[in-house]
Amino acid sequence: MKFKVTVLPGDGIGIEVTREAVACLETVAEKFGHEFEFIEQLIGGVALDKTGVPLPDQTLETCLASDAVLLGAVGAPQYDNNPPKLKPETGLLGLRAGLGVFANLRPAFLHETLINASPLKPEIVRGTDMLIVRELAGGAYFGQPREITEERGLNTMAYTAPEVERVARVAFEIARGRRNKVSSIDKANVLESSQLWRKVVTRVGADYPDVTLEHGYVDSCAMALVTRPTSFDVIVTENLFGDILSDEAAVLTGSLGMLPSASIGGKVDLYEPVHGSAPDIAGRGIANPLGAIASAAMLLRHTCKLEAPAAALETAISRILADGYGTPDLKSQPNQVSTSEIGRHIRRHIAQSAA
């Protein structure tokens, strides 16, 4: 099978980690008899520098003509004082909106090998395996009106019932393939948008009697993530809360650099590691590419429907960690190697796997 993938390396370490993810997909294609066509385009700060906008029309057009999009990261300090329309992050928001994706899947899985890299005690964090389903197209990030003056900043958090229902159904369907539990997180004791959220999720949950549904407040959930993380299976929540909680959950696994994500439900699916552009380590060859490589595995599973190659890539990640390899962010790993060496070891394991 042949697949067309638009690659958006973006800024900072995005360039380095995306390079390794693409190389791993090429190895998978060779091993399992598939073909990928990769087309590289601009987004973020590099797009601002070259075209004057963070999301050029050509980039979005190419993405919409592809089977999937693989993104690195966007952002750099030199753009922090730019007006909103000229910030790298605006390019990412525009991309998500242009693709029409609305459900962001963020798994947080702790490899046993990395248990000492987690900030939590082993007896608390061992066995952590959750998936956060973050609503991606609504809420405060997109609500209108919005404004900023010298004296006032305004954002609007709004949701409609159909927006909540569609992401809730994604969460319940995924839970059926996991441990049949959904935790819906809101702030219904304060926010009207959350009161609607809870009402709609409860209604959707009635269609899934085999899945246990629990409701929780976002502040309580934030505490529970660091006191009883293994109690969660699938978490579904709105955009802003999901952004914060998924980053918190990611740290539990030993490093933000470990975690992948998939944004689905629109015209074309988008895959990217959870981490940012990390300009302080960009170009030094020490960035952790495993989040980007795991995102490539999600691309194989969700867009290409290639379960065996996806599993082979994830198994390769587990094996190199078990072999003790890691980048400097994984301080518990005895074999400290570079970004490119991690990629090389992953590809070696894929090549040796059974097709």
Q: Tell me what percent of the residues of the chain surpass a pLDDT of 90.
A: 93
How far CA 271 is from CA of 18, 56, 70, 238, 332, in Å, comes to 11, 19, 5, 19, 28
Residues 101 and 157 in one domain: no
> 77 near 279, Cβ under 8 Å?
yes
Judged against a pLDDT cut of 80, whether residue 84 lies above it is answered with: yes
* 26 in a structural domain: yes
Q: What is the H or E stretch that residue 246 is in? A: helix 239-252
* 310 in a structural domain: yes
Question: Which one-letter amino acid corresponds to residue 241?
Answer: F
- In this prediction, residue 353 carries a pLDDT of 76
SS3 per-residue string spanning 20-57: HHHHHHHHHHHHHCCEEEEEECCCCHHHHHHHCCCCCH
* 191 in a structural domain: yes
Q: Which of 229, 252, 275 finishes a domain?
A: 252
* 114 in a structural domain: no
CA dist., res. 25 & res. 57, Å (int): 26
Range of the domain at 330: 1-109+254-355
Within 8 A by CB and 6+ apart from 187, the residues are 194, 217, 218, 219, 241
Residue 269 appears among annotated catalytic residues: no
CA dist., res. 120 & res. 125, Å (int): 6
Residue 11 appears among annotated catalytic residues: no
Count CB neighbours of 35 within 10 A. 11
| Active-site pick, 67, 129, 247, 323 | 247
CA dist., res. 142 & res. 208, Å (int): 30
Residues 176 and 276 in one domain: no
Q: What is the DSSP letter of 175?
A: H
Residue 247 appears among annotated catalytic residues: yes
> 236 near 164, Cβ under 8 Å?
no
Residues 262 and 314 in one domain: yes
Q: How confident is the model at residue 313 (pLDDT cuts 50, 70, 90)?
A: very high
Average pLDDT over residues 41-48: 97
| Active-site pick, 187, 233, 325, 329 | 187
Instruction: Classify each residue of 37-47 as buried b or exposed e, where b means 16 or more C-beta atoms within 10 Å of its C-beta.
Output: eeeebbbbbbb
CA-wise closest residue to 137 among 122, 121, 159: 159
- The tokens describing 115, both together, are 């248990």
Q: Which of 195, 218, 252 finishes a domain?
A: 252
Residues 93 and 205 in one domain: no
Average pLDDT over residues 285-308: 96
CA-wise closest residue to 249 among 264, 227, 272: 227
- In this prediction, residue 157 carries a pLDDT of 96
Average pLDDT over residues 90-109: 94
Q: Tell me what percent of the residues of the chain surpass a pLDDT of 70.
A: 99
Average pLDDT over residues 218-229: 98
Judged against a pLDDT cut of 80, whether residue 72 lies above it is answered with: yes
| Active-site pick, 141, 159, 271, 325 | 141
pLDDT, the chain, mean: 95
Note the pLDDT tens digit of each residue in 123-158: 999 999 999 999 999 999 889 999 999 999 999 999
* 188 in a structural domain: yes
Give the CATH number of the domain where residue 91 resides: 3.40.718.10
CA dist., res. 234 & res. 177, Å (int): 10
Residues 133 and 206 in one domain: yes
Residues 228 and 151 in one domain: yes
Judged against a pLDDT cut of 90, whether residue 19 lies above it is answered with: yes
- The tokens describing 26, both together, are 């090429």
**Which of 26-30, 44-48, 248-252 is the least confident region?**
248-252
Count CB neighbours of 171 within 10 A. 29
> 277 near 13, Cβ under 8 Å?
yes
CA-wise closest residue to 139 among 185, 181, 183, 203: 185
Q: What is the H or E stretch that residue 325 is in? A: strand 325-326
Q: How confident is the model at residue 355 (pLDDT cuts 50, 70, 90)?
A: low
Q: Which of 203, 226, 252 finishes a domain?
A: 252
Q: Quote the number of domains for the chain.
A: 2
Residue 207 appears among annotated catalytic residues: no
Strand, coil or helix: 336? strand
* 214 in a structural domain: yes
Residues 276 and 341 in one domain: yes
Residues 241 and 262 in one domain: no
Residue 219 appears among annotated catalytic residues: yes
> 270 near 95, Cβ under 8 Å?
yes
| Active-site pick, 11, 243, 269, 329 | 243
